[in-house]
A = this chain, B = another copy of it.
Amino acid sequence: MTPAPLAPHPDRLLPADPGVRRLARELYRSVADAPILSPHGHVEAALLADDLPFPDPATLLITPDHYVLRLLHATGVGLGELGRGEGPADPRDVWRAFCAGWDVFLGTPVRYWFETSLSEVFGVTEQPSAANADELYDHIDALLRTPEFRPRALFDRFGIEVLATTDDPASDLEAHARLRDDPSFSGRVLPTFRADRYMDPSAPGWAGFLGELAETAGIDTGDRAGLLAALCARREAFRAAGGTATDTGVLDAGSQPLPAAEAERIHAAGLRGEVSVDDATAYRRDMLYRLAEMSAEDGLVMQLHPGVIRNHHVPTLERFGPDSGHDLPDVAAYTRPLTPILNDFGTDETFRLVLFTVDETSFSREIGPLAGFYPSVYAGAPWWFIDTPDAIARFRRAVTDSAGFTKTSGFIDDTRAFCSIPARHDMSRRVDAGYLATLVAEHRLDEDAAHTLARRLVDDIPRATFRL
């Protein structure tokens, strides 16, 4: 059987109506090659600092990508077969399992990204299948051994101008320093301050985390004042290393400050391993407030994405660890829980808060209206489960009414999968081009303005939002 060809269409994702498509194509082309600003993601700085060859196709493309793992798992492929088991899986077997399951991705955004990456990064011309799995593996594997497929070479080829990583405050940012000091590397790789693991004093290992932070910061974290001081010190170090933003993922956006004595009491109880559920929640909400307070002080852009239930399936967590595909969206709320932060810092010129969601209902009801009043608040682009062509289009149609374009964040790829970065940004540029072209076709925007906005959405809007 002849394998199905893999040839992403140049007009993919553009509106079907011929008249609208013509303009959408023009808008898209005007920004298709614009530099990539990636202000939120999970690629490690060491990848670029070390610049070692990627080990193999499966370890690069399959195993770390929970989008891919999820749907294969949902159709009966075990996570162990996908390289997430205890023992090392043969990467070729992982790749074969992926190719054999390729059809379950039909019509999904994962398929879309993958097709674009396979075609444009690796020059693949056939749809993956059980029949050609080995051939494709060998083809990609051979490329990965060439200098052109080292991380830095791809970074340049992808046209990445800015790449933000996500880093623990206890990190010494050594890889970032190496990159900055390396005259042969000209990209900007910025650390992002993510203090999530210090926020829950009831979490296993919390005292140990505090110890690591204390060591890096050189500040005793044995009391809560010390923890805050250490976080401030590390924020300063992140800023010095080029960081412009923080990131916080919490179960909810509650942000009620506590009296210092009360926070100290819970902190001490946490170190003794004796924190009640209610106290842990109160401590976490106070910490969210404190992080906002610090952002209002030092100007690091605060990114917030509440509403994800982590590790829903305990047996999978126990066997395969976190980030194995069973984090799941929850109902999200912003307007009420963020009241303390917004009352105190909402109109502060230094403070900036980018709100992300995995609950689409909040776009027109909460995030758009908040970004449409508070100077500090920006509507974050669709993220995680909803960074898809359809959801991005819904986002624009829901948020523009209240917040226009300038109060949105610009696209974020949020990815661990380095090779998907250009495909994802490309997707966003296509969808936005389609949206703008539709507004023009409905005479809600003139063509010049559409061209200006298409450019701004990939350029000065993300630069301004993230203070790049």
Residues of A within 8 A of B (CB): 4, 8-9, 11-20, 70-71, 73-76, 104-109, 112, 309, 312-316, 325-326, 328-331, 333, 335-336, 339, 342-343, 346-347, 349, 358-361, 364-366, 368-375, 377, 385-386, 388-391, 397-398, 400-407, 436, 438-439, 441-446, 448-449, 453
Contact = CB atoms under 8 A, between A and B. Distances in A.
Contacts of A366: 328-329
B364 A386 contact: yes
A326 B371 CA distance: 11
A313 B364 contact: no
Q: Determine which residue in A358, A406, A442 has the highest number of CB atoms from chain B within 10 A of its CB, and name it.
A: A442
Contacts of A71: 372, 402-404, 407
Given A18-B19, A369-B328, A13 B75 contact: no
A442 B438 CA distance: 14
B389 A444 contact: yes
Contacts of A369: 328-329, 385
A309 B336 CA distance: 9
B107 A444 contact: yes
A11 B402 contact: no
A335 B312 contact: yes
A360 B371 contact: no
B373 A365 contact: no
Contacts of A315: 343, 347
B405 A106 contact: yes
Contacts of A8: 443
Nearest to A105: B404
Given A107-B439, A373-B74, A404-B107, A343 B314 contact: yes
Q: Which of A11, A309, A328 gathers the greatest number of chain B CB atoms within 10 Å?
A: A328
A398 to B, nearest CB: 8
Nearest to A11: B443
A402 B366 CA distance: 24
Nearest to A449: B106
A335 B309 contact: yes
**Max chain B CB contacts within 10 Å: which of A16, A342, A360, A445?**
A16
Nearest to A376: B74
B406 A15 contact: no
B373 A70 contact: yes
Contacts of A326: 373-374
16 contacts: A4-B446, A9-B443, A70-B373, A73-B375, A74-B377, A76-B349, A104-B404, A107-B400, A108-B400, A108-B404, A112-B444, A312-B339, A360-B361, A360-B364, A361-B365, A390-B400
Contacts of A17: 16-17
A157 to B, nearest CB: 24
Nearest to A15: B442
A339 B377 CA distance: 34
A327 to B, nearest CB: 9
Contact of A442 (B12, B331, B360, B371): B12
Contacts of A370: 328
B107 A405 contact: yes
A465 to B, nearest CB: 12
Contacts of A405: 106-107
B407 A74 contact: yes
Contacts of A444: 12-13, 107, 112, 389
Given A11-B443, A331-B333, 8 more contacts: A70-B372, A74-B371, A75-B375, A75-B407, A108-B401, A365-B385, A385-B401, A389-B442
